[in-house]
A and B are shown apart, each in its own frame.
Chain A
Amino acid sequence: MKLIKIATVLVAGALALTACGSNDGGSASAASTVRVNGFSILEQANKTVFDDFKKTDAGKGVTFQTSYGASGDQSRGVESGNKADLVHYSLESDVTRLVKANLVDQNWKSATPTNGVLTSSVVVFVVRKGNPKNIKTWDDLVKPGVQVITPNPGSSGSARWNILAAWAHITGNGGTEAQAKDFVTKLFGNTIALPGSGREATTAFTDGSGDVLLSYENEAILAKQSGADVDYIVPDDTLKIENPGAVTKNAPKAAKDFLAYQVSKEGQAAYAKSGFRPVVDGVDVGDVEGANDPSNPFPAPAKLFTIQDTFGGWGVAADKYFGDGTEGKPLGLITAIQQATGKGVDQ
C-alpha cells in the first residue's frame, strides 16, 4: 500500500514537471497569436473589434489570448511577469509602470497618431429613470440630501477620473485650489458608498442605492444596453477620460497591426458601439443603442477638461492628489479630504 502511495506521488510529480515543460514549448506558434492584457470594461467591446480585425488582410489567421481585470492589477501582473503583447489600460500610469519595467518602449505614445490613446469617454452622472432629483450640474451633487455613489479612488485607479472631474469643475472654471477642496469635501460628504470598482459601483446603484452615480459614459451606455432602469446626464463641463495602450517590446507584428487597427476609423466605430467616444476624426459611429440619443450618441460638452491641460498629466496628478503619504509619497490632496470627511472634521 505504502509503495503504491509513494509511486503515485512520484508519478504525480513527474507529471507536474512534464506539464511545466510542455507549457514552455507551447509558445512556438506565438507569431500569429496576440496576447491582449486590458482593463475589465474592454472585454465586451473587444469581442467585436477582434472579429472585425480578423476580417481585414492584416488580421487573417490572427488569434487572440485575452486577460482582463482591474487596470492596476493587470498592469502590476505584466510588470511581474505575466506575458502580454498588447496592453490597454484605464490610466496612463499603468502603462508608464511597464515603461519603467523596460517592457514597453519609452516612445510608445508615438506608435499611434492618437498619442497612445486607444479609447476615450467622459465622466457622466447616472441618475434614476426620469431624473427625479433633477440633477444637471456638478453643483447639484453637493446639495444637501443628494446621495452620491462613486467607486473608491483609493483602491481603484479608474475611479480617480471621477474625482478629478469634480476637481476640474472648480479649478478648470477659474476657481482656486481651496475652493476645489471645499467642493470635493462636500461631494465626499454626500457620498454614501465607495465600492471597489466602477462595475461594483454600477451594481450598487442599479440595486437601488443612491441618487447619483459618478461613472463613465461608456459604462452608463453599457448599463442601459443591458437593460438597467437608469438615465445618464453629460454635464456641461466634464473631464475627458483617455485610456492608453501600447505594444510591448518583442511583440509580434500582428500585435502592431492590431494596435493600428484599434485607432483606425473602423476600429473606433466598433468601440463606439460599446459606448466609447472615438479618438480620431471622421468615424461613422451610426446609431449607438443605450445612448441618450442613439442617433447623436456623443454630444460634445460645452467644456471638456483633459488630464494633461488641467492637471499636468497623470505623472504629476497621481501622487499630488492620491498619494497615500507613505514610502516618501506625499499625502494626496484628495486622500487628505477623504480622511478628513471620514473623521467628520470639516476642512
Chain B
Amino acid sequence: MANQDERQARPRGLAFIAKSQLMTGDDVARALRRMAHEIIERNHSLGSLSIVGLQTGGKAPATKLASILSEISGLAVDANTLDVSFYRDDLSRNPIPASSATYIDHDLTDRTVVLVDDVLFTGRTIRAALNALSDWGRPRAVQLAVLVDRGHRELPIRPDYVGKNLPTSLDEAIVATLDGVWIGTREAS
C-alpha cells in the first residue's frame, strides 16, 4: 500500500528532487500534537467530530491526528478518507489523477468535519473536497487542517489548523509526510 500511495502522490513522469529538509519527523509529530490540541480547544465535544483525510497525501496525517485525538481525549476517533479526483475542475487541463479509495462510513449531517491534507496550495483540491462532502450529508461545520501552507491561493479558502507556514515560489515543490517536510523541484525522470 505504501508504494501505491507514493506512486499516486506525484504527477506522472515527474520525480521530486529534494533541495533541503525543512522539518524532521519529530517536528511533524510535534506540529500534529499541537494541531490536535487546537482542534479540541475549538470544538469541545469530540463526539460529533469526523476526521477526513484527502487521498492520498492527507491520509497518513489524518490517521495520525485521529490517534492523537483518541489518546488525549480517551474517546475513539476514527479517520475516514476522501478521494476528490472525480470532483476536480481541472480534469481537462491536467492529466487525470489516479483515483484511490474513498471510505466514509457514516452520514456527515450535523457533524463537524475536519478535512486533513498534506500541503495547501491553490485551494482547488479543497474546493473539490467541499463539493464531494455535500454528497455525504450536510455537515454542521467544515474545518481544514494542513501540514504545510505554501501560499499561492487561487480561491477564497483558508486553513483552520496549520503545521507550518512555508512561503514558496511557484516553481518549487513541497513534499510533506509524517517523516518530514522537504522543499525541492519536480523534474522529468
Do A and B interact? no
